[in-house]
Amino acid sequence: MKEAELYRQIGRLKAEVDWLKKNPLKSTDCKRGFIEPENKEISIRRQRVLLGIQRSGYYCKPASESESNKALMEAIDRIYTSRPYYGSRRITKTLRRMPEWKDVKRSVRNTRNF
């Protein structure tokens, strides 16, 4: 009885090791794509644990950037490319002079992404 249980555990661990070899660990964004819901040997829960993905990280899709945020990032990028020595404060001052970008907090937050 105990021997059969051990062989079952060995079989499960072998399947998990084979699955991990097939799916090498990459960046966090790529890990979600490695989970195989149709795999009958390893449950989705176990695959998440092996890859180090939380349940919410698998089931909830990341939000995309809004159009206004993309436009702001492009404006920041134009300023930064023309004057790479500008810091976040100077970029914010330059943005304030533009009528369409008055939200200072959001512009500072986005300049830190560069």
- Amino acid identity of residue 22, one-letter, is K
Q: Calculate the average pLDDT of the chain.
A: 79
Residue 53 has pLDDT above 70, yes or no: yes
Provide the pLDDT confidence category of residue 27 given band limits of 50, 70 and 90.
low
The 10s digit of each residue's pLDDT in 92-111 is 888 888 877 666 566 666 66
Domain boundaries, the chain: 2-59, 67-111
What's the pLDDT score for residue 82?
92
Q: Which residues lie below 8 Å from residue 70, measured CB to CB, with a gap of 6+?
A: none
The 10s digit of each residue's pLDDT in 61-86 is 777 777 877 888 888 888 889 998 88
Q: Quick one: what percent of the chain has pLDDT higher than 70?
A: 80
Please tell me whether the overall predicted TM-score, pTM, comes out greater than 0.85 for this model: no
What's the pLDDT score for residue 24?
66
Three-state helix/strand/coil letters over 59-80 = HCCCCCCCHHHHHHHHHHHHHH
For range 3-32, the mean pLDDT? 77
Q: Which of 65, 75, 61, 82 is nearest to 107 (CA)?
A: 75
For range 32-51, the mean pLDDT? 85
